[in-house]
Amino acid sequence: MSWTDIAALEDIPVRGARIVKTHAGCIAVFRTDDNEVFATSDRCPHKGGPLSEGIVHGKSVTCPLHNWVFSLETGEAQGADEGQIATYPARVENGRVLMDLSEINKVAA
**What's the whole-number mean pLDDT along residues 28-54?**
96
Contact 49, 65 (CB under 8 A): yes
The span from the CA of 2 to the CA of 88, in Å, is 12
- Whether 13 has a pLDDT exceeding 70, the answer reads yes
List the domains of the chain with CATH numbers.
Answer: 3-108 (2.102.10.10)
pLDDT of residue 92: 98
Contact 12, 97 (CB under 8 A): yes
Cα distances (Å, whole numbers) of residue 56 to 4, 14, 44, 105, 106: 24, 9, 14, 27, 28
- Whether 38 has a pLDDT exceeding 70, the answer reads yes
**What's the whole-number mean pLDDT along residues 50-70?**
96
Helix H, strand E, coil C: the string for 32-95 is CCCCCEEEEECECCCCCCEHHHCEEECCEEECCCCCCEEECCCCEECCCCCCECCEECEEEECC
Nearest to 29 by CA among 2, 8, 1: 8
